[in-house]
Amino acid sequence: TACQSVSKKIDEKTMQEEKELSKWLNKPESELKIVYGQPDKIEFLETRNRNYIYVSKKYNIKCERKFEINPNNMVIGFTSKNCF
């Protein structure tokens, strides 16, 4: 049952993270930068979109958040890995 408890907490934190990041959809890139600052890395995609990548560490675990920005400078997608 201890493993189930940990798994449930991770699932809850993941859902909370996705809910938080989904608020950025259809928001301007400029607002994203006000809150998160300059991205740690920018990937340019073949679709003319770009990914803004933000990396942080918590408990020695690397958290990576990616926001996809379209040519109109709007956030159109996101992913999050190891963020809680």
Taking only the tens place, the pLDDT of each residue in 53-71 is 999 988 888 999 999 999 9
Inform me whether the pLDDT recorded for 1 exceeds 60.
no
Residue 75 CA, chain-centre distance (Å), reads 11
First-to-last alpha carbon distance for the chain, in angstroms, is: 21
Q: How far apart are CA 34 and CA 20, in angstroms?
A: 16
Q: What 3 state SS string does 8-44 have?
A: HHHHHHHHHHHHHHHCCCCCEHHHHHHHHCCCCEEEE
pLDDT at 58: 82
pTM of the model: 0.84
